[in-house]
Amino acid sequence: MNTFPLTHEQLVELTKKYPTPFYIYDEKAIRENMRYFTKAFSNFPEFREYFAVKALPNPYILKVLESEGCGGDCSSLPELILCEKSGITGKRIMFTSNDTPAEEFQYAEKLGAIINLDDITHIDYLWNALGGRMPCTICFRYNPGPLKQGGNAIIGKPEEAKYGLTREQMIEAYKICAKSGVKHFGLHTMVASNELNPDFFVDTAKIVFELVLDVQKECGVNIEFVDLGGGVGIPYRPGQKKVDLEYVSAKIHELYEKMIVPAGLDPMAVCFECGRPITGPYGYLVTKAIHHKHIYREYVGCDASMADLMRPGMYGAYHEIQVSGKENLPKDHVYDVTGSLCENCDKFAVQRELPQIDEGDLLIIHDAGAHGRSMGFNYNGKLRAGELLLRSDGSVTQIRRRETIDDYFATLDFSGLDSFKA
């Protein structure tokens, strides 16, 4: 668990200006982490990290990452626009989408993004969407199916996933696009989420490199870049180890030297599209304890809910909880830490050992910097939390205000209600 970057006294003062719940992100730590990520893969001729915008879709965060040389992995029109407004354009965008409307392909092409197709039928769809032509660069998403044994708890087994093309379809797709005038090609896969085993990513690279060689042999097409996806996990639970990126990079580089260089494909760019390991450890959801309940278990109720952070309720995910100002007290109480949503899964922690929590205490939910605020929702009419950025100079900037009642009602039209009277 990372150390929360503010003292208890600083946090209390912050809540006077920004009432809980809110997210706060550590800019300095995110920058340092992005530099570490880039350095770990600097042994390749070209490396690019395309930050998974879905993990933390805020233009201020994207601008921080853009200034560190990061690109953006997008899967929707709003995510494309977020990148554009943050200064990420052209080949620094990977548009990896599925069941995509034509206008989103059109906007991606307008920005000069790399379009990564999820199905062989999307070739004709894209051709028609662009008025009878193809982009000069195309990438395809590979689903290795049973070749990738074991699958992943979150993303599932590849052969059961809705994403990507089979090997046979990949070969056919490159042949079709080569005949359609496409000049530059990439190859992509994504078969894991929150994976902590470093050898998983090495095995994935081997499968991808093998297909790269098959495409060269069977299609006469040279793959210029591979996107090995994301899926790098973070140690949410005590005792878990951070993925050793230097080890992953070294092992993939060995495969590169053994497989790619002899095939005459060097230099071939190696890319990732991670979100969680870039910002996840450096975001925190701050909430206040407002209720206690004593029945068959002891409950602490917060002013945040699953609508603010759905991972524990959706996946049974674990997040460390820090009781601000009570870090040195014994964890001699057992609580379920809950929100006010009308769902029994609205729990941030189940039977968690914590210090005694009093009403008014501030709880810091750790490792919430990815797939936290971005997965928020409005069920029960809940209003989503705002977002703050702790700047490198120690100041705090609001980068997304908290939702209001007016926001919630903004898309409703009440003008015709009277016509529904009995």
Phi then psi dihedrals of residue 292, to 5 deg: -125, 150
User: Is residue 274 flagged as an active site residue?
Assistant: no
Catalytic residue among 219, 271, 342, 345: 342
Distance CA(229)–CA(45), nearest Å, equals 18
Sign of CA dihedral 256, 260, 265, 268: negative
Could you tell me which residues come within 8 angstroms of residue 404 by beta carbon, excluding any fewer than 6 positions away? Answer: 383
Tell me which residue of 272, 115, 160, 134 sits closest to 208, measured CA to CA: 272
State both tokens at 409. Answer: 């009602």
Tell me which residue of 28, 23, 16, 11 sits closest to 384, measured CA to CA: 23
- To 5 degrees, how large is the angle CA 356–CA 368–CA 379? 90
Distance CA(142)–CA(171), nearest Å, equals 10
Could you tell me which residues come within 8 angstroms of residue 143 by beta carbon, excluding any fewer than 6 positions away? Answer: 158, 159, 161, 163, 164, 165, 166, 189, 191
The secondary structure of residue 298, as a DSSP letter, is: E
Q: Is the peptide bond before 267 cis (omega within 30 degrees of 0)?
A: yes
CA atoms within 13 A on the CB side of 254: 7
Contact by Cβ (8 Å): 293, 365: no
Q: Which residues are catalytic?
A: 342
